[in-house]
Amino acid sequence: MNATMSIHGFPTFTSHANRHIILYGVIKMAIQRTFSIIKPDATKRNLTGAIVAKFENAGLRVIAQKKIHLTKAQAGVFYEVHKERPFYDELCEYMSSAPIVAQVLEGENAISLNREIMGATNPAEAAEGTIRKEFALSLGENSVHGSDGPDTAALEISYFFSGLEIVS
């Protein structure tokens, strides 16, 4: 953690992935970043704006965004953690079947907040009002991906975005 600026003359400390603003040792805010993908089933049905509205209405800000069409190999690297799972090939095939929208979202407790907004991985188990409940087609075609923790978020953001592309 480094002292990077001051607010009203008091030192303010920030860390990179998890930005806490600390005054007199009291944490006032925990601003976090998470990585998000709007998946092929959603981009094909023109749902990008509806999904972004869900994030924004819940208090998350889009601080980086790009629409890209992954190759199967690029999808394979992104989902390498699932390499041994029986659905890995199907997942990589699907993620490279049409364009995706990759995003960095920022806000208080962004990682867990985003997971709440998305809902359970399987839309059959997702809560009312969540993205997956409203839009997902199946467990595989579940409309969105979101990082599951701070380390994963940092890794996933760096796979898709350079520092220059993230505007907070």
Per the listing, tokens 């997702």 go with 126
State how far the Cα of 88 lies from the Cα of 167, in Å rounded to an integer. 33
Note if 145 is an active site residue: yes
Rule CB under 6 A: say whether 140 interacts with ligand CMP.
yes
Coil vs helix vs strand at 120: coil
Which of 18-26, 27-35, 46-54, 136-144 is the region at the interface with ligand CMP (rule: CB under 6 A)? 136-144
Query: Exposure pattern of 132-141 as b/e (b: 16+ CB <10 Å)?
Result: bbbbbeeebb
CB 36 within 8 A of CB 44: no
Contact with ligand CMP (CB under 6 A) among 70, 145, 153, 156: 145
Give the residue with the Cβ less far from ligand CMP, 87 or 159: 87
> Within positions 18 to 77, which residues make up the interface with ligand CMP, using CB under 6 A?
none
Contact with ligand CMP (CB under 6 A) among 1, 30, 87, 149: 87
How many residues make up the chain in this entry?
168
CB 78 within 8 A of CB 70: yes
Tell me, residue by residue from 92 to 121, as one string, x for binding to ligand CMP by CB under 6 A and - for no binding. -----------------------------x
Q: What are the residues binding ligand CMP (CB under 6 A)?
A: 82, 87, 90-91, 121, 139-140, 142, 145
